[in-house]
Amino acid sequence: MKYIKLFMLLAVVSLFAACSSDDDYNTNETTVSFANNAITTKESAGIVNIPINVTGLRNGDISLRIVTEEVGANPAKEDVNYMITDKTLTLKADTLQSGVINVEVKMVDDDEINENRTFKLTIASVNGATVGTNASTTITIRDNDAAFYEKFFGKWTLSGNIEGSTGVSPFSKDVTISGVTDEESADYNNILTVSAPGLVNVGVSVDCEWHFRYSFNTEAKTGTLGFICGEIIGSYGDAYQWMWASISANNQLTIDDVTAPWALGENDAFPSTITFPESAKLAFYQPGNGVWRIFSDLKLTKK
């Protein structure tokens, strides 16, 4: 008899607790909606917070449950390409008109070269609110292993031969390659910047900066890197303006790119050396005063 009474008492307490929990939910008019219907992130981003906007005063808790879905031509797989910390999320009562619940997603950074992966997050159920405009958001994970544009950033050595009024001699200069990191920029994956202090001595040492035109074919795993000619690359006081000018096969000046091919090595290893064709030459040219130096047999070596 004692056990029956104890069981009935526990049942009553459980029922009261359940009713009390229900009463804790928000009863005001409140909506929850993903802040964006599409988000792009990098494979190397680590932990990313995907925001869900909460609109409306809350006199109680809001809880919601998230589900995942593989979508797109190259779907991302949960617990393989990404992981979600918690799919059941709660936001407490607040006197503010707005709030945010974040879905915490950890990206898995692998070494595989692949097309961008996609998956979808959806608000499957909610207590204490209604679902607004964006019940789902599609996440695109950009592959950083094929983003060799950024792998060019850093210290390199530019070497080769340089021809001037006193003849031809070998040269070697340390240079720094950089680029934009904003993936929305038109220059991203297209243009690199090279800084070369004291590259040329014309009585004084001239600091130079120029651009490389970059390309990479993910399928073929090959690319190109080219000096962009016709741009001002340095100056000395106000009297001198310098610019590259390429030299054609018949020794005519052009402003065509001087381009080198490059390719991934074994196991998709990034190349440590970029060699320009022997026939490719760069003229260090000053409009109105002609060619001051000629560069040939150019090679870039990663430091």
| CATH number of the domain to which 269 belongs | 2.40.128
State pTM to two decimals. 0.63
pLDDT at 201 exceeding the cut of 50: yes
Same domain, 115 and 174: no
CA–CA separation, 156 and 153 (whole Å): 9
Number of residues in the chain: 303
3-state secondary structure of 220: coil
CA–CA separation, 181 and 44 (whole Å): 14
pLDDT, position 18: 40
* Domain closes at, from 142, 160, 177: 142
pLDDT at 125 exceeding the cut of 50: yes
Alpha carbon 298 to chain centroid, angstroms: 30
Same domain, 77 and 41: yes
**Nearest CA to 301 among 192, 152, 180?**
152
**Total of domains in the chain:** 2
* Pair of tokens at residue 111: 């070494």
Q: Residue 127 is which amino acid?
A: N
**Does residue 65 form part of some domain?**
yes
CA–CA separation, 187 and 68 (whole Å): 34
**Does residue 219 form part of some domain?**
yes
Please spell the DSSP secondary structure of 121-137, one letter per residue.
Answer: EEEEEEESSEE-S-SEE
pLDDT at 3 exceeding the cut of 50: no
pLDDT, position 96: 82
Contact partners, residue 255, CB within 8 Å, separation at least 6: 229, 230, 245, 246
If one counts every other C-beta atom within 10 angstroms of the C-beta of residue 113, the result is 16
Helices marked H in the chain — which ranges?
2-23, 148-151
Percentages of the chain per state (helix, strand, coil), in multiples of 5: 10, 55, 35
User: Is the separation of the CB atoms in 195 and 211 below 8 Å?
Assistant: no
Same domain, 105 and 231: no
DSSP summary character for residue 268: G
* Domain closes at, from 118, 142, 166: 142
3-state secondary structure of 149: helix
Q: Which domain holds residue 58?
A: 26-142
Same domain, 175 and 286: yes
Same domain, 116 and 159: no
pLDDT, position 21: 55
pLDDT digits 0-9 by tens, 137-168:
999 998 876 678 988 999 999 999 999 888 89
pLDDT, position 240: 63
